[in-house]
């Protein structure tokens, strides 16, 4: 008797899953208001890959020294601390909202329960880089290669539940948001206990990273993904942690030059993928220049503090990260940086909005809204 019941429960869940996915395949030109006032999603799902800029809890249960599942992280988030390295939303949350999706769950919450992956999954992990060895000072993390394997296992489960064709159509219309590179510099190349800066000069290192990155994106394409938003690396030389390393609190041109060098190779790499991988759309999101504008003209964006973290300790509130129960600044919307490394949610939301409907100087060859409403 018990087994019959569980069979019918599982099969009705299955039907619900299928129905929701099929519904999501219908084309929309804008996110329409459905009954109940919720926006209908522009895409079936969003899958997120990256580091602490967009990690929403994957490190919480790892033996990692890079986690944020305690106050005051999440102080402005409805549910409190989740593991996000911000006071509220990350840029991925902002983009998901504009796409009409609910908040995407972290892989750590989804892995046993495929039904909760219906709107997408967030695989991002704090300290992760393009290279497996980046970020190891924080002990445990999920590097990009492992995030890709996690995505592959999600795809396999979708295929089993929905059938290969339906799953593949759905993934092809879903959006992948990806951002890597910061940890390959901060927690690898620039880390005293790593040897990479002796093995490679800046140019050789960015070549190495770009080569790996290109292979990784191609792997995702081979797993069925077609629509990609790739964020370049931000202005690392001006984050409070780096500012605090020198007594004059100036941005580090050494760090920024390394990042600019990497970013300059990212754009042509994506162009190559667009050309060679049939049916793919790789968008290049210029976080660096958007952020640079905010740092140079903070008041234009409503910010008054651009050189110190809202929660942190020491010079520039950036020498030491935000510790449990530390009191953050009260006027968080005025701060560009939340802690020593990460932007505030106010910045994250602005970046999301600009990329959603922005022009080609920010995001190219089209913006996110255009990507989402492309005909299949």
Partner 1 sequence: MVKLILLLSLCTLGATNGATAGNTTVPAIYILGDSLVDVGNNNHLLTTIKADFPHNGVDFAGGKPTGRFCNGRNAADFIAEKLGLPSAPPYLSIRKISNSSEAFFNGINFASAGAGILDATHSGECLSLNKQIEYLSTAYAAMVEEIGDRQTQEHLAKSIFTIIIGSNDIFDYVKSNGDATPQQFVGSLTSTLQGQLKRIYNIGARKFSFIGTGPVGCCPALRSQSKTGECKEVANLVSHLYNEEIIFLLQEMKSQFSDINYSFFNTYIALLEIIQMPFNHGFTEVKAACCGIGDLNAKVACTPFSHYCSNRTSHIFWDYYHPTEATAGILTAEIFDGSMPHVYPINMRQLGAL
Q: Which of the following is catalytic: 51, 52, 169, 317?
A: 52
Identified binder of partner 1 from the candidate list 36, 37, 192, 279, rule CB under 8 A: 192
- Tokens in use for 10? 């599982």
Taking residue 345's Cβ as centre, other Cβ atoms within 10 Å add up to: 25
Active-site residue (options: 342, 344, 345, 355): 342
**Nearest approach, Cβ of 340 to partner 1 (angstroms)?**
11
> Interacting stretch for partner 1, rule CB under 8 A, among 104-112, 197-205, 281-289, 321-329?
321-329
Q: In angstroms, rounded to a whole number, what is the distance separating the alpha carbons of residues 202 and 205? A: 5
Cβ atoms within 10 Å, residue 344? 28
**Shortest distance in whole angstroms from residue 63 CB to partner 1:** 4
Angle, CA 49 vertex, CA 74 and CA 343 arms, to 5°: 40
Residue from 28, 161, 245, 314 that binds partner 1 (CB under 8 A)? Answer: 314
CB of 327 to partner 1, least distance (A): 8
Tell me: does residue 80 bind partner 1 (CB under 8 A).
no
Interface pattern 209-248 for partner 1 (x via CB under 8 A):
----------------------------------------
Candidates 199, 324, 360, 374: give the one binding partner 1 (CB under 8 A).
Answer: 324
Sign of the C-alpha dihedral, residues 339, 340, 346, 348?
negative
Question: 69 vs 249, which CB is nearer to partner 1?
Answer: 69
CA atoms 141, 314, 194, 90: torsion sign: positive
Is residue 131 within 8 A of residue 188, CB to CB? The reply is yes
Question: Do 303 and 346 contact (CB within 8 A), yes or no?
Answer: yes
Q: What is the spatial distance between Cα 21 and Cα 168, in angstroms, rounded to a whole number?
A: 11
Query: Given the complex with partner 1, which of 226 and 342 has the nearer CB atom?
Result: 342
Question: Which region among 135-143, 154-162, 197-205, 224-232 touches partner 1 (by CB under 8 A)?
Answer: 135-143
Contact 28, 40 (CB under 8 A): yes
CA distance 207 to 213: 10
Q: Considering the complex, what minimum distance in angstroms separates the CB of residue 6 from partner 1?
A: 30
Provide the token pair at 270.
């994506």
Which residue, 193 or 248, is less far from partner 1 as judged by CB?
193
In angstroms, give the least distance from the CB of 239 to partner 1: 17
Question: Does residue 203 carry a catalytic annotation?
Answer: no
Choosing from 18, 22, 305, 313, the residue that interacts with partner 1 (CB under 8 A) is: 313
Q: Is 173 a binder of partner 1 (CB under 8 A)?
A: no
The position carrying tokens 């109940």 is 36
Residue 67 touches partner 1, criterion: CB under 8 A: yes
Report the nearest approach of partner 1 to the CB of residue 69 (Å).
10
193 touching partner 1, by CB under 8 A? yes
**Nearer Cβ to partner 1 (81/88):** 81
Catalytic residue among 280, 284, 339, 344: 339
Scanning 88-96, 157-165, 286-294, 314-322 for contacts with partner 1 by CB under 8 A, the matching segment is: 314-322
CA–CA distance, 140 with 148 (Å, rounded to integer): 17
What does 127-177 look like in DSSP terms, one character per residue? T--SSTTTTGGGB----HHHHHHHHHHHHHHHHHHH-HHHHHHHHHHSEEE
Please tell me whether residue 138 binds partner 1 under the rule CB under 8 A: yes
Distance, in Å, from the CA atom of 209 to the CA atom of 123, rounded to the nearest integer, reads 20
- Is residue 284 flagged as an active site residue? no
Report in angstroms how near the CB of residue 61 gets to partner 1 at its nearest. 10
CB of 216 to partner 1, least distance (A): 26
| 186 touches 259 (CB < 8 A) | no
Helices (H), the chain: 2-25, 91-98, 107-110, 144-162, 164-173, 182-184, 196-199, 202-222, 240-243, 253-276, 287-296, 345-357, 368-372
Q: Is residue 280 annotated as part of the catalytic site, yes or no?
A: no
Is 321 a binding residue for partner 1 by CB under 8 A? The answer is: yes
356 binds partner 1 (CB under 8 A): no
Provide the annotated active-site residues: 52, 339, 342
Residues that bind partner 1 (CB under 8 A): 63, 65, 67, 137-139, 192-193, 313-314, 319-321, 323-325
């Amino acid at each position: 008797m018990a087994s019959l019941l569980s069979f019918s429960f599982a099969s009705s869940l299955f039907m619900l899953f299928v129905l929701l996915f099929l519904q999501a395949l219908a084309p929309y030109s804008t996110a329409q208001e459905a009954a109940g006032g919720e926006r209908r999603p522009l895409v079936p799902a969003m899958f997120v890959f990256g580091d602490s800029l967009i990690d929403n809890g994957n490190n919480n249960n790892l033996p990692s020294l890079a986690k944020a599942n305690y106050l005051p992280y999440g102080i402005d988030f409805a549910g409190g601390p989740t593991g996000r390295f911000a006071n509220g939303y990350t840029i991925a949350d902002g983009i998901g909202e504009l796409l009409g999706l609910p908040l995407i769950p972290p892989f750590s919450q989804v892995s046993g329960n495929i039904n909760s992956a219906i709107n997408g999954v967030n695989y991002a992990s704090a300290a992760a880089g393009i290279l497996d060895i980046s970020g190891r000072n924080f002990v445990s993390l999920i590097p990009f290669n492992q995030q890709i394997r996690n995505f592959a296992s999600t795809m396999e489960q979708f295929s089993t539940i929905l059938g290969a064709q339906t799953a593949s159509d759905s993934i092809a219309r879903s959006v992948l948001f990806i951002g890597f590179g910061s940890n390959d510099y901060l927690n690898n190349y620039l880390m005293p206990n790593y040897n990479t800066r002796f093995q490679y000069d800046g140019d050789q290192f960015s070549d190495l990273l770009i080569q790996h990155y290109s292979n990784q994106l191609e792997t995702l394409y081979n797993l069925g993904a077609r629509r990609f938003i790739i964020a370049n690396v931000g202005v690392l030389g001006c984050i409070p942690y780096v500012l605090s390393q020198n007594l004059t609190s100036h941005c580090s041109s050494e760090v920024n030059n390394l990042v600019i060098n990497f970013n300059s190779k990212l754009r042509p790499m994506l162009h190559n993928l667009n050309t060679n991988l049939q049916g793919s759309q790789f968008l290049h999101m210029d976080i660096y220049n958007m952020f640079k504008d905010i740092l140079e003209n903070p008041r234009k964006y409503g910010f008054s503090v651009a050189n110190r973290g809202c929660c942190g300790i020491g010079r520039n509130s950036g020498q030491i990260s935000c510790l449990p129960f530390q009191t953050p600044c009260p006027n968080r919307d005025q701060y560009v940086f939340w802690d020593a490394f990460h932007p505030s949610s106010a910045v994250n939301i602005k970046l999301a909005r600009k990329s959603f409907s922005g022009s080609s100087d920010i995001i190219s060859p089209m913006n996110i809204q255009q990507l989402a409403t492309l005909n299949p």
